């Protein structure tokens, strides 16, 4: 394959000597040159570089041999003549207290005084000693304070073009300062400079339509690669070198760390059209094979394993932090989908793929939208671990850099601030670019980021009295925090123009807190049934769930066998795949069952919540709460595990979805219905490639019983559950009853897992081990006052039937619309009482059935002989199954009966869909008796329109055939829905009157021949349970509130009275 050649114009030249453009950039200086002029102090070079940055874009495009040796070459007057557009902020309401703003300003200016006024003879300077863009930063800060707090020289606040420029300007100024604040004869400082320059390039300026800005970005990127080349260790192996330059020996750990960083730099350069002679394939081939040493060390940091003592040096800390930031930049870039290609830098062969992301970094997963929240939390946790391990070994400069990175990750929204470069004129954007730009109200800075900003200011306080040489490093941090303050202030205006269909629109805004550092780190719950998928469909995330989950043949069977590779005892169809039951599933819901591990579902839900009015704070622990008199609100005390600080949050409601050990339930002192302890089980999350075994063993649950072998008491029976086909699994092991509960060594677990797999050639890598209790517990009530609990906090049971997360999702779906309607004044507060009344019986039934199913599994274990105490007894009991005898026939019949019972679990459509509510939110007084079930209510779904039942799913379409629409697509979406038919025209004005009088969102649809929707398969006519002119009223959670057999003259009054009753309106 021919090497990819960049398209270099006359302004950007490549020389045969491999001298990159920008290698002698006017804003940088060479260590050798600087050291030959010892009379030039660091402050001189620093001052000159600051001043010379402005207006230097023309010079930057040449390989100049001159170096900065003072300020005499700078035309200070022309530099100062530039005027920056800044918005007038005097009308923006202040959200900071006066003392907070004064403190920020004091820190800001004190830093400047230490750097300049205490060390420079101001008498020899013009009227203002600060360089232009620093004056601009001060003007921005003064604007944020809505007061002329500092004499900013020529840079006064004036009307401008964009409110966001204040915050963006502060951020840019802070980031650019890093390139000159650091002692450049320090190799570590140069590496920091390279990474921060890359970060700045990615965040700002790379998409400008102004050609000069494209060239400037090119130069800056070349400089990044150049600095990295200069820094390579003597034994290192840079992908920038040809194959003849590569050493033939293994490289050290530090070298592989640096080679990894160099690869990132080179990929950036290649994709911007600046790296000659290399193709993507060659880049990856040239990576040192010994990089596994780095991966082991880096993965330890990112996955929470302890680092060896011998790697906790300053250099290791710096390299790890630098590479960590590279990965964070890569992750954020993928998430924000910023394209690096421009027509002027891409060859014709590459234009067809100009919108692709960077090629996959071999050690960082590509970041989809669903992974972003989880990866951000993982990186944030890795940064915290870095601080724990390396803070004692690195200096103040590195710690400041650490806080800068952590703050940027805590608040990724700043990566989407509007474009603003700190020099030259702003680029002229095309109409399409202006239309695609993010508006201010689309960016929100989490409160957690602001809290962390003030924490960093506390750190600045600690260092303000240190020697002057350590102070400059903190100035970019303070500038960055100033950007946060200004931007938060700009975004403090209330949002408008909301539409129905999201949490924010429902009127719900809130705060999600978790004591964990991130989303679930183990798969835990996985089977997502149709009832839960319908809830996810209601908020529009179902398609994303199907994209990341697994369905179809991969979950077709549940099996019992001696091992994964060994002989099979039995198998049954599961999760709707039985040919005799597929029709039942297709008629019950527009959705299909899905295997969606919790590790994949949680990021989707967190992202949806945080994009629709909610904020999320990790590492935050619940402490206590106090309910206010008359149920006016709840004050909750929280503990920030990062800062160690307690703080209080006042809200109207508190929701406890805090798991099986729920401290909120303990504070509520609600009694629990418990059964005796059922024992415990151990989850082993592992990687093991078993694809070669699965062709004839398709399925997602594999029960493993070894009656012919001795088994350890901690791993009597196993169940291997698919997580990602066919390389990631969860092995659940059940100890013998009464076995001592203690942690075993990884080697013991691997040995037992290999026995369950039955193929020693399969490499097993354990990713995590956890223990969970087999509970049979349900709460007697789900709420008290303004505190509501849901999920495992109120119903705890084993995973049989796959009902755990599904019940949690439906708890939330039931509660959300009620909270929103009460909060908006549409419903009376008594409506919320119906939550516990409706959901508590469902939770109790789920707990009972899940435990009954586990006991049914024990019958299979008994029939297969696994319950006997010795190998001889187990083998004898197992062999009875093969006998042509009465006891053999009875045992085989017992096995078949036990498998039929388990089939109720695997095809328990009834327990998933047959919930029927009785509460004030369901109007039944004018209905007849509730219809009875004509078959097993646990196994079969019985669709009905009787009030309190789930609205039946039927397929509808338009008169001219088009895409089929489900009744579930018309209902939900945060509104009530009324279905009627021919002769029911009067329901439409009646519903409009109800909507007007009660302010309740109401939609009306007519179904029937030549109506608004056609009854595609005549299922609605069969199942609606009312006359064509009657109506079925559906709540926002898909459950039926009321039905009327037919239209009558007093129907409008009835509908109004029913809705008042359902909404607890007097």
Residue whose token pair is 């339509």 = 209
Q: Which residues of 903-932 are buried (b: 16+ CB within 10 A; e: fewer)?
A: bbbbbbbbbbbbbbbebbbbbbeebeeeee
Determine the distance from the C-alpha atom of residue 448 to the mean position of all C-alpha atoms in its chain, rounded to a whole number. Answer: 16
Beta-strand runs (E) in 680-764: 680-687, 701-704, 717-724, 728-734
pLDDT of residue 896: 95
Tell me the pLDDT band of 409, cut-offs 50, 70 and 90: low
Mean local confidence (pLDDT), 844-859? 92
More confident residue, 146 or 1020: 1020
Count of C-beta atoms within a 10 Å radius of residue 154: 15
CA 305, 311, 313, 314 dihedral sign is negative
Say which residues have a Cβ less than 8 Å from residue 26's Cβ, sequence separation at least 6. Answer: 52, 56, 59, 60, 64, 66, 68
pLDDT tens figures, 567-597: 999 999 999 999 999 999 999 999 999 999 9
Distance CA 846, CA 803 (A): 7
Size (the chain), residues: 1066
What percent of the chain is predicted at pLDDT more than 90?
39
pLDDT of residue 329: 55
pLDDT of residue 379: 73
Backbone angles phi, psi at 638, to 5 degrees: -120, 155
The answer to whether the pTM exceeds 0.75 is no
Distance CA 189, CA 178 (A): 9
Residue 1001 · residue 879 · CB < 8 Å? no
Mean local confidence (pLDDT), 710-729? 92
Mean local confidence (pLDDT), 1020-1041? 97
Mean local confidence (pLDDT), 659-664? 92
State the alpha helices, DSSP H only, in 272-395. Answer: 280-285, 292-303, 314-336, 369-390
pLDDT tens figures, 794-811: 999 998 888 889 999 999
pLDDT value at 676 more than 80: no
pLDDT of residue 507: 55
The number of CA neighbours under 13 Å toward the Cβ of 306 is 3
Quote the tokens at residue 534: 């319908």
Q: Which residues of 530-549 are buried (b: 16+ CB within 10 A; e: fewer)?
A: bbbbbbbbbbebbebbbebb
Q: What is the DSSP string of 582-649?
A: HHHHHHH-SS--EE--HHHHHHHHHHHHHTTTEEEESSEEEEEEEEPGGG--EEEEEEETTT--EEEE
CATH of 955-1062, one of 3.30.70.100, 3.40.30.120, 3.40.190.10, 1.10.760.10: 3.40.30.120
Report which of 450, 454, 456, 457 is spatially closest to residue 489, judged by C-alpha positions: 450
**Is residue 1032 classed as helix, strand or coil in its secondary structure?**
strand
Backbone angles phi, psi at 273, to 5 degrees: 80, 30
Most confident of the ranges 346-360, 640-654, 859-873: 859-873
pLDDT value at 661 more than 70: yes
Determine the distance from the C-alpha atom of residue 825 to the mean position of all C-alpha atoms in its chain, rounded to a whole number. Answer: 33
pLDDT value at 146 more than 60: no
pLDDT tens figures, 427-446: 333 333 333 333 333 344 45
pLDDT of residue 990: 96
* Lowest mean pLDDT segment, chosen from 246-255, 654-663, 956-965: 246-255
Distance CA 240, CA 275 (A): 8
pLDDT of residue 403: 64
Tell me the pLDDT band of 722, cut-offs 50, 70 and 90: very high
pLDDT tens figures, 881-913: 999 999 999 999 999 999 999 988 889 999 999
Q: What is the DSSP string of 396-436?
A: HHHHHHHHHHHHHHH-GGGGGSPP--SSSPPPPPPHHHHHH
Distance CA 52, CA 64 (A): 14
Say which residues have a Cβ less than 8 Å from residue 321's Cβ, sequence separation at least 6. Answer: 386, 390, 398, 401, 402, 405
* Lowest mean pLDDT segment, chosen from 9-18, 465-474, 906-915, 944-953: 9-18
Angle of CA points 932, 936, 938, to nearest 5° = 105
pLDDT tens figures, 753-786: 999 999 999 999 999 999 988 999 999 999 999 9
Query: What are the C-alpha distances in Å from 6 to residues 246, 282, 856?
Result: 23, 15, 67
Q: In the chain, where are the structural domains located? A: 31-490, 955-1062
Say which residues have a Cβ less than 8 Å from residue 961's Cβ, sequence separation at least 6. Answer: none
pLDDT value at 216 more than 90: no
Residue whose token pair is 């001696």 = 562
State the alpha helices, DSSP H only, in 491-541. Answer: 530-538
pLDDT value at 83 more than 80: no
Count of C-beta atoms within a 10 Å radius of residue 583: 10
pLDDT tens figures, 99-115: 544 444 444 444 333 33
Radius of gyration of the chain (CA): 33
More confident residue, 253 or 907: 907
State the alpha helices, DSSP H only, in 864-958. Answer: 871-879, 886-906, 909-913
Say which residues have a Cβ less than 8 Å from residue 72's Cβ, sequence separation at least 6. Answer: none
Mean local confidence (pLDDT), 128-157? 41
* Lowest mean pLDDT segment, chosen from 495-499, 793-797, 1002-1006: 495-499
- Report the mean per-residue pLDDT for the chain: 68
Mean local confidence (pLDDT), 245-263? 43
* Lowest mean pLDDT segment, chosen from 256-270, 545-559, 658-672, 858-872: 256-270
Report which of 1047, 936, 1033 is spatially closest to residue 983, judged by C-alpha positions: 1047
pLDDT value at 927 more than 50: yes
Report which of 330, 387, 380, 384 is spatially closest to residue 359, judged by C-alpha positions: 330
């Amino acid at each position: 394959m021919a090497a990819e050649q960049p398209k270099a114009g006359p302004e950007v030249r490549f020389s045969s000597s491999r001298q990159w453009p920008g290698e002698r950039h006017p804003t940088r200086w060479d260590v050798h040159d600087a050291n030959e002029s010892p009379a030039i102090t660091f402050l001189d070079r620093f001052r000159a570089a600051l001043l010379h940055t402005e207006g230097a874009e023309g010079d930057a495009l040449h390989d100049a041999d001159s170096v900065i040796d003072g300020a005499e070459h700078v035309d200070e007057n022309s530099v100062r003549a530039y005027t920056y557009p800044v918005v007038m902020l005097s009308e923006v309401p202040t959200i900071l207290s006066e003392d907070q703003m004064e403190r920020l300003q004091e820190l800001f200016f004190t830093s400047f005084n230490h750097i300049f006024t205490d060390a420079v003879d101001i008498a020899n300077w013009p009227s203002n000693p600060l360089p232009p863009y620093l004056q601009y930063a001060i003007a921005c800060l003064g604007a944020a304070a809505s007061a002329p707090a500092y004499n900013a020289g020529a840079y006064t606040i004036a009307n401008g073009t964009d409110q966001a420029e204040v915050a963006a300007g502060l951020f840019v100024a802070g980031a650019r300062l890093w390139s000159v604040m650091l002692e450049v004869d320090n190799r570590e400082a140069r590496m920091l400079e390279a990474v921060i320059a890359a970060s700045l390039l990615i965040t700002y300026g790379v998409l400008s339509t102004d050609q000069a800005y494209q060239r400037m970005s090119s130069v800056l990127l070349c400089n990044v690669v150049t600095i990295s080349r200069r820094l390579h260790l003597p034994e290192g192996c840079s992908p920038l070198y040809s194959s003849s330059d590569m050493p033939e020996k293994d490289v050290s750990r530090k070298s592989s760390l640096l080679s990894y960083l160099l690869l990132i730099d080179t990929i950036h350069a290649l994709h911007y059209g600046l790296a000659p002679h290399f193709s993507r394939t060659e880049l990856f081939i040239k990576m040192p094979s010994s990089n596994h040493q780095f991966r082991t060390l880096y993965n330890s940091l990112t996955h929470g394993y302890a680092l060896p003592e011998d790697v906790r040096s300053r250099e290791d800390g710096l390299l790890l932090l630098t590479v960590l930031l590279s990965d964070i930049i890569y992750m954020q870039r993928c998430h924000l989908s910023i394209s690096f290609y421009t027509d002027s830098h891409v060859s014709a062969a590459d234009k067809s793929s100009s919108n692709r992301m960077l090629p996959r970094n071999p050690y960082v997963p590509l970041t989809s939208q669903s992974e972003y929240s989880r990866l951000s939390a993982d990186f944030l946790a890795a940064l915290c671990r870095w601080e724990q391990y390396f803070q004692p070994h690195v200096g103040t400069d590195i710690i400041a850099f650490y806080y800068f990175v952590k703050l940027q990750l805590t608040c990724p929204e700043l990566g989407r601030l509007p474009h603003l470069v700190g020099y030259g004129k702003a680029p002229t954007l095309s109409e399409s670019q202006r239309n695609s730009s993010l508006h201010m109200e689309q960016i929100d800075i989490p409160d957690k980021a602001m809290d962390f900003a003030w924490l960093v200011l506390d750190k600045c306080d600690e260092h303000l009295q240190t020697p002057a040489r350590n102070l400059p490093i903190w100035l970019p941090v303070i500038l960055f925090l100033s950007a946060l303050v200004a931007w938060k202030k700009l975004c403090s205006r209330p949002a408008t123009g909301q539409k129905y269909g999201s949490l924010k629109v429902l009127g719900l805004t809130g705060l999600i807190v978790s004591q964990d550092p991130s989303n679930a780190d183990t798969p835990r719950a996985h089977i997502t049934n149709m009832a839960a998928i319908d809830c996810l469909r209601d908020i529009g995330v179902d398609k994303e769930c199907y994209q990341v989950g697994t369905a179809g043949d991969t979950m077709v069977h549940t099996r019992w066998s001696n091992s994964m590779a060994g002989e099979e005892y039995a198998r049954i169809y599961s999760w709707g795949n039985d040919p005799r039951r597929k029709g039942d599933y297709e008629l019950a819901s527009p959705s299909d069952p899905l295997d969606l591990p919790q590790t994949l579902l949680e990021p989707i839900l967190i992202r949806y919540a945080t994009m629709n009015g909610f904020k999320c704070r990790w590492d935050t622990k619940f402490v206590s709460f106090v309910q206010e008199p008359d149920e006016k609100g709840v004050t909750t005390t929280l503990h920030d595990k990062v800062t160690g600080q307690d703080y209080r949050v006042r809200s109207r409601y508190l929701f406890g979805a805090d798991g099986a050990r729920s401290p909120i339930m303990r504070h509520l002192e609600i009694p629990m219905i418990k059964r005796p302890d059922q024992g415990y089980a151990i989850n082993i999350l592992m990687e093991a490639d078993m694809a070669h075994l699965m062709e004839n063993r398709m399925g997602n649950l594999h029960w493993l019983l070894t009656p012919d072998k001795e088994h350890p008491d901690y791993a009597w029976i196993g169940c291997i559950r698919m997580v990602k086909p066919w390389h990631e699994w969860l092995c659940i092991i059940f100890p013998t009853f009464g076995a001592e509960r203690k942690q075993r060594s990884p080697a013991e677990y691997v040995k037992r897992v290999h026995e369950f797999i039955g193929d020693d050639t399969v490499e097993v890598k354990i990713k995590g081990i956890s223990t969970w209790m087999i509970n049979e517990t349900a709460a007697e009530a789900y709420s008290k006052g303004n505190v509501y609990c849901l999920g495992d906090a109120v119903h705890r049971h084993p995973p049989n039937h796959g009902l755990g997360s599904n019940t949690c999702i439906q708890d939330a779906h039931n509660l959300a619309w009620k909270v929103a309607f009460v909060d908006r004044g549409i419903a009376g507060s008594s409506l919320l009482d119906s939550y516990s009344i409706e959901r508590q019986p469902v939770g109790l039934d789920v707990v009972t059935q899940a435990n009954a199913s586990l006991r049914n599994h024990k019958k299979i274990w008994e029939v297969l002989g696994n319950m006997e105490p010795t190998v001889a007894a187990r083998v004898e009991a197992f062999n009875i199954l093969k006998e042509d005898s009465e006891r053999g026939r009875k045992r085989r019949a017992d096995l078949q009966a036990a498998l039929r019972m388990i089939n109720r679990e695997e095809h328990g459509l009834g327990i998933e869909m047959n919930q029927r509510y009785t509460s004030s939110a369901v109007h039944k007084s004018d209905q007849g008796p509730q219809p009875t079930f004509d078959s097993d209510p646990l196994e079969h779904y019985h669709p009905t329109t009787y009030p309190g039942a789930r609205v039946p799913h039927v397929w509808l379409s338009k008169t001219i055939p088009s895409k089929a629409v489900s009744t579930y697509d018309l209902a939900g979406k945060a509104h009530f829905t009324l279905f009627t038919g021919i002769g029911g025209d009067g329901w439409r004005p009646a519903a409009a009157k109800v909507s007007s009088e009660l302010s309740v969102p109401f939609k009306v649809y007519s179904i029937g021949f030549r109506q608004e929707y056609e009854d595609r398969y005549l299922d609605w006519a069969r199942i609606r349970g009312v006359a064509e002119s009657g109506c079925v009223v559906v709540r926002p959670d898909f459950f039926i509130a009321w039905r009327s057999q037919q239209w009558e003259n007093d129907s409008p009054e009835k509908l109004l009275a029913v809705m008042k009753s359902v909404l607890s309106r007097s």
